[in-house]
Amino acid sequence: MTRKDDDAQSIRSATSADLPLIAALIRELAEYEKLAHEVRFDEAVLAQKLFGPRPFAEVLIGELEGAAQGFALFFHNFSTFEGKPGIYLEDLFVRPAARGSGLGTALLRRLALIAQERDCARLEWSVLDWNAPAIDFYRALGARPMDEWTVMRVDGEALRQLAISAS
């Protein structure tokens, strides 16, 4: 579905043909976040996980005057307290030259619309604590920090060890 948010910008759902673009945008985001060393995906696996028979996430592409300038990658989570699904925004990125154009706001508005259409209780995401411009941007849109929560992660060898202990 493509929908014009104004004359110069549009938001559309990504297709498998967008995989090279999505990979490039992920790498650009990682550079911006000073996390390029963390990018390890294989494009064939990414294609399978995004566009295969059981997609694990969805991607919106933000365009300005027909040129892709940003993306939002998201998936569903579930709130047991609400008894409803939610949307978790894994990544939101707008290329530096397009910042201030309203494209980031348009991507978030589209996600909010999707959340409402799918009867989701909430839209949430994480932001690096040093990224003051992003935090200010999100607050201006009505987002509030969840300071009482700490993100926890098990990955790599710790994940393998935890899984081994289950068998």
Which residue numbers are catalytic?
138
SS (H, E, C) the chain: CEEECCCCEEEEECCHHHHHHHHHHHHHHHHHCCCHHHCCCCHHHHHHHHHCCCCCCEEEEEEECCEEEEEEEEEEEEECCCCEEEEEEEEEEECHHHCCCCHHHHHHHHHHHHHHHCCCCCEEECCCCCCHHHHHHHHHCCCCCCCCCCCCCCCHHHHHHHHHCCC
Nearest to 9 by CA among 113, 137, 108: 108
Half-sphere exposure in the Cβ direction for 73 (13 Å, CA):
19
